[in-house]
């Protein structure tokens, strides 16, 4: 496989780079480099292009059979503050690149979507065919992109939209604004876990390594396994957590770290439980394998490492 990955120097891409560079005939990364130096352990890839997905130049798509699009403004506060940039990066640029890829003979296009498109599901466990309810600009951008990618998918251009559960786990460019990672880092820095919500909302999680497994599957998927266009929930039914329960698991795993609520905890409107049975059916050999307690311990050990001398500024 000859692969180019857009947005490869972020939280997920940093883990993906190692896997795909070792398994591909040719692997190229394309990224703005905003977080290039935000790394805990030094690592490089052989072929890296620094650029903006809104202005892609000097990329010959005829050299690739697979394109992966991870690039995004990827949290809700950024999406709220930078509405136009979110639309341009998450949606418009993805669509433009997908069309260039198809016109150049690329066979597979993989888009990093999100289970956040379900917004609020109540007590129902949501499958791919259920109603979407995006509550943020980030989630809306994912839906808009999926709809347009469906229009250009064809027998010779297979599109896979991976609706990932909320990411967690260690990466050399780790994010600490996502729920599990945040709980563990708070345990290290503040010696307590602080919940800013009432903890009653549900969220599915997936380890970043298991996200890489799913992308590896998508790089191999063809029309006979899910059709020319596929939007699919990626995660595990066992990893649908109520936030308060997740906090208690972190506390117990790390030796009963104190659990506190913020000054004014409110209900988080984003709450959804997700059905991952289709992913289990179509990708039986690429299922999530990481364990929640092992994930917590791994994050804790890596962030507690003596190699990270300046923890105050790191966190």
- Tens digit of pLDDT for each residue in 17-47? 999 998 888 999 999 999 998 899 888 899 9
In order, the DSSP letters of 19-65 are HHHHH-SEEEEEE--TTTT--SS----S-EEE--GGG--S--GGG-S
Strands of the chain (E only): list them: 2-6, 26-31, 48-50, 66-69, 108-114, 120-126, 158-164, 166-168, 193-197, 202-207, 229-234, 240-242, 259-266, 271-274
Counts of helices then strands in the chain (DSSP H, E): 11, 14
Residues 236, 206: contact at Cβ < 8 Å? yes
Q: Which residues contact 238 (CB under 8 A, 6 or more apart)?
A: none
Lowest mean pLDDT across 89-93, 135-139, 224-228, 277-281 = 135-139
- Tens digit of pLDDT for each residue in 47-92? 999 999 999 988 999 999 999 999 998 877 777 787 888 899 999 9
At residue 313, the pLDDT reads 53
Nearest to 70 by CA among 197, 183, 160: 160
Residue 312: is its pLDDT beyond 60? no
Distance CA 29, CA 8 (A): 6
Q: What confidence category does residue 216 fall into, taking pLDDT thresholds of 50, 70 and 90?
A: very high
- Tens digit of pLDDT for each residue in 166-198? 999 999 999 999 999 999 999 999 999 989 888
Distance CA 171, CA 165 (A): 17
What's the topology of domain 2-168+204-234? Rossmann fold (3.40.50)
Residue 309: is its pLDDT beyond 70? no
Centre a 10 Å sphere on the Cβ of residue 306 and count the other Cβ atoms it contains: 5
Q: Which residue has the tokens 């939209």?
A: 161
Residue 310: is its pLDDT beyond 70? no
Task: Report the CATH superfamily, name and number, of domain 179-203+239-269+290-314.
Answer: UDP-galactose 4-epimerase, domain 1 (3.90.25.10)
Centre a 10 Å sphere on the Cβ of residue 44 and count the other Cβ atoms it contains: 10
Q: Which residue has the tokens 């991870």?
A: 70
Write down the domain spans for the chain.
2-168+204-234, 179-203+239-269+290-314
At residue 311, the pLDDT reads 52
Tell me, yes or no, if the two domains 2-168+204-234 and 179-203+239-269+290-314 fold the same way.
Answer: no
Region 246-266: mean pLDDT is 91
At residue 247, the pLDDT reads 96
Distance CA 116, CA 251 (A): 26
- Provide the mean pLDDT of the chain: 92
- Tens digit of pLDDT for each residue in 110-150? 999 999 999 888 788 999 999 998 888 999 999 999 999 99
């Amino acid at each position: 496989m000859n692969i180019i990955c857009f947005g490869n120097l972020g939280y997920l891409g940093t883990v993906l780079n190692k896997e795909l560079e070792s398994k591909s005939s040719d692997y190229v990364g394309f990224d703005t480099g905003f977080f290039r130096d935000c790394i805990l352990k030094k690592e490089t890839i052989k072929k890296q292009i620094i650029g903006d997905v809104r202005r892609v130049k000097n990329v010959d798509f005829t050299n690739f059979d697979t394109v992966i699009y991870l690039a995004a403004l990827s949290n809700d506060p950024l999406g709220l503050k930078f509405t136009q940039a979110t639309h341009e990066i998450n949606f418009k640029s993805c669509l433009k690149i997908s069309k260039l890829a198809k016109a150049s003979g690329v066979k597979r296009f993989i888009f990093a979507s999100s289970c956040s498109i379900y917004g609020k599901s109540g007590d129902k466990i949501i499958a791919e065919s259920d109603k979407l309810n995006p509550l943020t600009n980030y989630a809306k951008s994912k839906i808009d992109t999926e709809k347009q990618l469906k229009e250009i998918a064809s027998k010779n251009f297979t599109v896979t939209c991976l609706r990932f559960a909320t990411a967690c786990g260690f990466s050399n460019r780790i994010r600490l604004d996502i729920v599990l990672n945040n709980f563990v880092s708070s345990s290290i820095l503040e010696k307590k876990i602080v919940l800013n919500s009432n903890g009653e909302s549900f969220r599915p999680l997936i380890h970043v390594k298991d996200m890489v497994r799913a992308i590896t599957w998508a790089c191999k998927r063809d029309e006979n396994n899910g059709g020319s266009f596929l939007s699919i929930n990626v995660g595990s039914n066992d990893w649908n957590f109520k936030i308060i329960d997740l906090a208690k698991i972190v506390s117990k795993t790390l030796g009963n770290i104190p659990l506190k609520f913020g000054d004014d905890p409110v209900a988080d409107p984003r709450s959804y439980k997700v059905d991952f049975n289709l992913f289990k059916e179509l990708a039986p050999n690429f299922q999530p394998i990481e364990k929640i307690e092992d994930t917590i311990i791994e994050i804790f050990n890596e962030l507690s490492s003596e190699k990270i001398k300046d923890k105050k500024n790191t966190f």
